[in-house]
Protein backbone atom coordinates (compact mmCIF):
# COMPACT_ATOMS: atom_id res chain seq x y z
CA UNK A 1 0.00 0.00 0.00
CA UNK A 2 2.89 2.34 0.82
CA UNK A 3 4.31 1.74 -2.65
CA UNK A 4 1.00 2.81 -4.19
CA UNK A 5 0.67 6.11 -2.31
CA UNK A 6 2.61 8.17 -4.90
CA UNK A 7 0.30 7.02 -7.71
CA UNK A 8 -2.76 7.49 -5.48
CA UNK A 9 -1.95 11.10 -4.63
CA UNK A 10 -0.23 11.98 -7.90
CA UNK A 11 -1.65 12.74 -11.31
CA UNK A 12 -2.07 10.58 -14.38
CA UNK A 13 -1.99 11.62 -18.05
CA UNK A 14 -5.28 12.66 -19.59
CA UNK A 15 -6.60 10.27 -22.28
CA UNK A 16 -6.91 11.32 -25.88
CA UNK A 17 -10.03 13.23 -26.83
CA UNK A 18 -11.49 10.37 -28.85
CA UNK A 19 -11.35 8.13 -25.76
CA UNK A 20 -13.24 10.72 -23.71
CA UNK A 21 -15.93 10.91 -26.40
CA UNK A 22 -16.05 7.11 -26.77
CA UNK A 23 -16.64 6.66 -23.03
CA UNK A 24 -19.45 9.23 -23.21
CA UNK A 25 -21.08 7.26 -26.04
CA UNK A 26 -20.66 4.03 -24.07
CA UNK A 27 -22.26 5.59 -21.01
CA UNK A 28 -25.14 6.86 -23.12
CA UNK A 29 -25.60 3.34 -24.48
CA UNK A 30 -26.30 1.98 -21.00
CA UNK A 31 -28.59 4.88 -20.05
CA UNK A 32 -30.94 5.21 -23.03
CA UNK A 33 -32.07 1.63 -23.91
CA UNK A 34 -34.70 0.60 -21.38
CA UNK A 35 -33.62 -3.08 -20.99
CA UNK A 36 -30.03 -2.09 -20.17
CA UNK A 37 -31.17 0.83 -18.01
CA UNK A 38 -33.18 -1.51 -15.81
CA UNK A 39 -29.89 -3.11 -14.79
CA UNK A 40 -27.55 -0.12 -14.84
CA UNK A 41 -30.00 2.02 -12.86
CA UNK A 42 -29.01 0.01 -9.77
CA UNK A 43 -25.80 2.06 -9.65
CA UNK A 44 -27.80 5.30 -9.69
CA UNK A 45 -29.96 3.94 -6.87
CA UNK A 46 -26.81 3.28 -4.82
CA UNK A 47 -25.83 6.92 -5.25
CA UNK A 48 -29.40 8.10 -4.58
CA UNK A 49 -29.77 6.25 -1.29
CA UNK A 50 -26.19 7.08 -0.34
CA UNK A 51 -27.06 10.75 -0.77
CA UNK A 52 -29.99 10.39 1.61
CA UNK A 53 -27.84 8.53 4.13
CA UNK A 54 -24.86 10.88 4.06
CA UNK A 55 -27.06 13.96 4.38
CA UNK A 56 -28.92 12.40 7.29
CA UNK A 57 -25.62 11.90 9.13
CA UNK A 58 -24.31 15.38 8.29
CA UNK A 59 -27.51 17.05 9.53
CA UNK A 60 -27.41 15.19 12.84
CA UNK A 61 -30.02 12.54 12.17
CA UNK A 62 -29.39 8.92 13.17
CA UNK A 63 -29.06 6.70 10.12
CA UNK A 64 -30.69 3.33 10.76
CA UNK A 65 -30.68 1.41 7.50
CA UNK A 66 -30.44 1.51 3.72
CA UNK A 67 -32.21 -0.98 1.47
CA UNK A 68 -31.72 -1.48 -2.27
CA UNK A 69 -34.31 -3.48 -4.19
CA UNK A 70 -34.18 -5.46 -7.41
CA UNK A 71 -36.72 -3.12 -9.07
CA UNK A 72 -34.06 -0.35 -8.65
CA UNK A 73 -36.03 1.33 -5.88
CA UNK A 74 -34.51 1.95 -2.48
CA UNK A 75 -35.32 3.07 1.06
CA UNK A 76 -33.23 4.98 3.58
CA UNK A 77 -34.47 5.13 7.17
CA UNK A 78 -33.18 7.68 9.67
CA UNK A 79 -34.31 8.80 13.09
CA UNK A 80 -34.78 12.38 14.19
CA UNK A 81 -37.28 15.18 13.99
CA UNK A 82 -39.92 14.43 11.33
CA UNK A 83 -39.81 18.06 10.22
CA UNK A 84 -37.23 20.82 10.06
CA UNK A 85 -34.15 21.59 7.98
CA UNK A 86 -32.40 18.27 8.59
CA UNK A 87 -35.36 16.27 7.30
CA UNK A 88 -35.80 18.59 4.31
CA UNK A 89 -32.14 18.32 3.30
CA UNK A 90 -32.19 14.55 3.75
CA UNK A 91 -35.27 14.17 1.56
CA UNK A 92 -33.85 16.53 -1.08
CA UNK A 93 -30.46 14.81 -1.34
CA UNK A 94 -31.45 11.67 -3.26
CA UNK A 95 -31.98 12.80 -6.84
CA UNK A 96 -29.07 15.29 -6.91
CA UNK A 97 -26.64 12.73 -5.43
CA UNK A 98 -25.61 10.92 -8.63
CA UNK A 99 -25.18 14.13 -10.72
CA UNK A 100 -23.19 15.80 -7.94
CA UNK A 101 -20.98 12.72 -7.59
CA UNK A 102 -20.46 12.87 -11.34
CA UNK A 103 -19.56 16.55 -11.11
CA UNK A 104 -17.06 15.85 -8.33
CA UNK A 105 -15.61 12.99 -10.35
CA UNK A 106 -15.31 15.22 -13.40
CA UNK A 107 -13.42 17.77 -11.30
CA UNK A 108 -10.95 15.08 -10.18
CA UNK A 109 -10.51 13.81 -13.73
CA UNK A 110 -10.10 17.36 -14.98
CA UNK A 111 -7.22 17.64 -12.50
CA UNK A 112 -5.87 14.25 -13.74
CA UNK A 113 -6.47 12.41 -10.44
CA UNK A 114 -7.73 9.17 -11.98
CA UNK A 115 -6.43 6.74 -9.33
CA UNK A 116 -7.59 8.96 -6.47
CA UNK A 117 -11.09 9.02 -7.95
CA UNK A 118 -11.24 5.22 -8.08
CA UNK A 119 -10.08 4.82 -4.49
CA UNK A 120 -12.45 7.49 -3.18
CA UNK A 121 -15.34 5.73 -4.94
CA UNK A 122 -14.28 2.41 -3.41
CA UNK A 123 -14.12 3.95 0.07
CA UNK A 124 -17.59 5.48 -0.32
CA UNK A 125 -19.05 2.14 -1.38
CA UNK A 126 -17.46 0.36 1.59
CA UNK A 127 -18.87 3.00 3.95
CA UNK A 128 -22.31 2.55 2.39
CA UNK A 129 -22.09 -1.22 2.74
CA UNK A 130 -22.02 -0.92 6.53
CA UNK A 131 -25.56 0.50 6.55
CA UNK A 132 -27.19 -1.75 3.92
CA UNK A 133 -29.67 -4.14 5.54
CA UNK A 134 -30.97 -6.44 2.81
CA UNK A 135 -29.32 -9.22 0.81
CA UNK A 136 -29.88 -7.74 -2.64
CA UNK A 137 -28.47 -4.41 -1.51
CA UNK A 138 -25.40 -6.03 0.02
CA UNK A 139 -24.79 -8.03 -3.15
CA UNK A 140 -25.18 -4.96 -5.38
CA UNK A 141 -22.80 -2.81 -3.34
CA UNK A 142 -20.26 -5.65 -3.00
CA UNK A 143 -20.20 -6.26 -6.74
CA UNK A 144 -19.89 -2.56 -7.53
CA UNK A 145 -17.20 -1.98 -4.91
CA UNK A 146 -15.36 -5.11 -5.97
CA UNK A 147 -15.26 -3.89 -9.56
CA UNK A 148 -13.75 -0.57 -8.49
CA UNK A 149 -11.24 -2.36 -6.28
CA UNK A 150 -10.14 -4.74 -9.03
CA UNK A 151 -9.69 -1.96 -11.56
CA UNK A 152 -7.82 0.20 -9.02
CA UNK A 153 -5.51 -2.60 -7.89
CA UNK A 154 -4.91 -4.80 -10.90
CA UNK A 155 -5.04 -2.63 -14.01
CA UNK A 156 -2.71 -0.07 -15.51
CA UNK A 157 -3.21 3.68 -15.98
CA UNK A 158 -4.80 3.36 -19.42
CA UNK A 159 -7.52 0.94 -18.29
CA UNK A 160 -8.12 2.91 -15.11
CA UNK A 161 -8.55 6.09 -17.13
CA UNK A 162 -11.09 4.57 -19.53
CA UNK A 163 -13.02 3.02 -16.64
CA UNK A 164 -13.03 6.25 -14.60
CA UNK A 165 -14.23 8.39 -17.52
CA UNK A 166 -16.97 5.88 -18.34
CA UNK A 167 -18.17 5.83 -14.72
CA UNK A 168 -18.25 9.62 -14.42
CA UNK A 169 -20.07 10.02 -17.73
CA UNK A 170 -22.56 7.41 -16.53
CA UNK A 171 -23.21 9.31 -13.30
CA UNK A 172 -23.69 12.57 -15.20
CA UNK A 173 -25.90 11.14 -17.93
CA UNK A 174 -27.68 8.57 -15.77
CA UNK A 175 -28.32 11.20 -13.13
CA UNK A 176 -30.55 13.11 -15.55
CA UNK A 177 -33.01 10.32 -16.35
CA UNK A 178 -34.54 9.55 -12.89
CA UNK A 179 -36.08 13.01 -12.53
CA UNK A 180 -37.81 12.59 -15.89
CA UNK A 181 -39.01 9.14 -14.81
CA UNK A 182 -40.42 10.61 -11.62
CA UNK A 183 -42.14 13.34 -13.61
CA UNK A 184 -43.76 10.74 -15.90
CA UNK A 185 -44.79 8.62 -12.93
CA UNK A 186 -46.45 11.55 -11.20
CA UNK A 187 -48.25 12.48 -14.44
CA UNK A 188 -49.66 8.93 -14.72
CA UNK A 189 -50.38 8.17 -11.07
CA UNK A 190 -50.70 11.59 -9.44
CA UNK A 191 -49.16 12.47 -6.08
CA UNK A 192 -47.67 9.76 -3.92
CA UNK A 193 -44.81 9.23 -1.54
CA UNK A 194 -41.94 10.22 -3.82
CA UNK A 195 -39.15 12.51 -2.66
CA UNK A 196 -40.81 15.47 -4.42
CA UNK A 197 -44.14 14.77 -2.71
CA UNK A 198 -42.50 14.37 0.70
CA UNK A 199 -40.67 17.65 0.18
CA UNK A 200 -43.93 19.29 -0.85
CA UNK A 201 -45.50 18.25 2.44
CA UNK A 202 -42.44 19.27 4.47
CA UNK A 203 -41.97 22.70 2.89
CA UNK A 204 -45.43 23.56 1.48
CA UNK A 205 -43.65 24.15 -1.83
CA UNK A 206 -45.43 22.40 -4.74
CA UNK A 207 -43.79 19.07 -5.70
CA UNK A 208 -43.54 20.36 -9.28
CA UNK A 209 -41.05 22.99 -8.15
CA UNK A 210 -38.98 20.32 -6.43
CA UNK A 211 -39.02 18.38 -9.68
CA UNK A 212 -37.71 21.46 -11.45
CA UNK A 213 -34.98 21.68 -8.82
CA UNK A 214 -33.97 18.05 -9.50
CA UNK A 215 -33.91 18.75 -13.24
CA UNK A 216 -31.86 21.91 -12.79
CA UNK A 217 -29.23 20.22 -10.62
CA UNK A 218 -28.81 17.22 -12.92
CA UNK A 219 -28.63 19.26 -16.12
CA UNK A 220 -26.23 21.83 -14.67
CA UNK A 221 -23.98 19.02 -13.40
CA UNK A 222 -24.05 17.39 -16.83
CA UNK A 223 -23.09 20.63 -18.57
CA UNK A 224 -20.39 21.57 -16.07
CA UNK A 225 -19.01 18.07 -15.69
CA UNK A 226 -19.05 17.48 -19.42
CA UNK A 227 -17.01 20.62 -19.99
CA UNK A 228 -14.40 19.44 -17.49
CA UNK A 229 -14.22 15.96 -19.01
CA UNK A 230 -13.88 17.33 -22.53
CA UNK A 231 -11.27 19.86 -21.42
CA UNK A 232 -13.37 22.89 -22.41
- Predicted pLDDT at 12: 74
Domain range for residue 119? 2-230
pTM for the structure as a whole: 0.93
How far apart CA 44 and CA 170 sit, in angstroms, is 9
Task: Count how many domains the chain has.
Answer: 1
pLDDT at 72: 93
**What is the pLDDT at residue 190?**
74
Q: How far apart are the first and last CA of the chain?
A: 35
Show the DSSP H helices in the chain as ranges.
5-9, 17-29, 34-58, 85-92, 94-110, 114-129, 135-154, 157-174, 177-189, 195-203, 207-230
Q: What is the pLDDT along the chain (232 residues), one digit of tens a residue?
A: 555 555 566 677 788 999 999 999 999 999 999 999 999 999 999 999 999 999 999 999 999 999 999 999 999 999 999 999 999 999 999 999 999 999 999 999 999 999 899 999 999 999 999 999 999 999 999 999 999 999 988 888 899 999 999 999 999 999 999 999 999 998 888 767 899 999 999 999 999 999 999 999 999 999 999 999 998 8
Q: What is the pLDDT of residue 10?
A: 67
Amino acid sequence: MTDRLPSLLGTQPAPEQWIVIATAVAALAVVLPRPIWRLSRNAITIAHEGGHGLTALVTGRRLQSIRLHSDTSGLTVSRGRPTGLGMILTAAAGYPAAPLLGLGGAALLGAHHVTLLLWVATALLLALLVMVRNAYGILTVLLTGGLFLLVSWLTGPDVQSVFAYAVVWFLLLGGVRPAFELQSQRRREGGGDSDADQLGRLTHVPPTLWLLFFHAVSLCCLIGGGRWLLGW
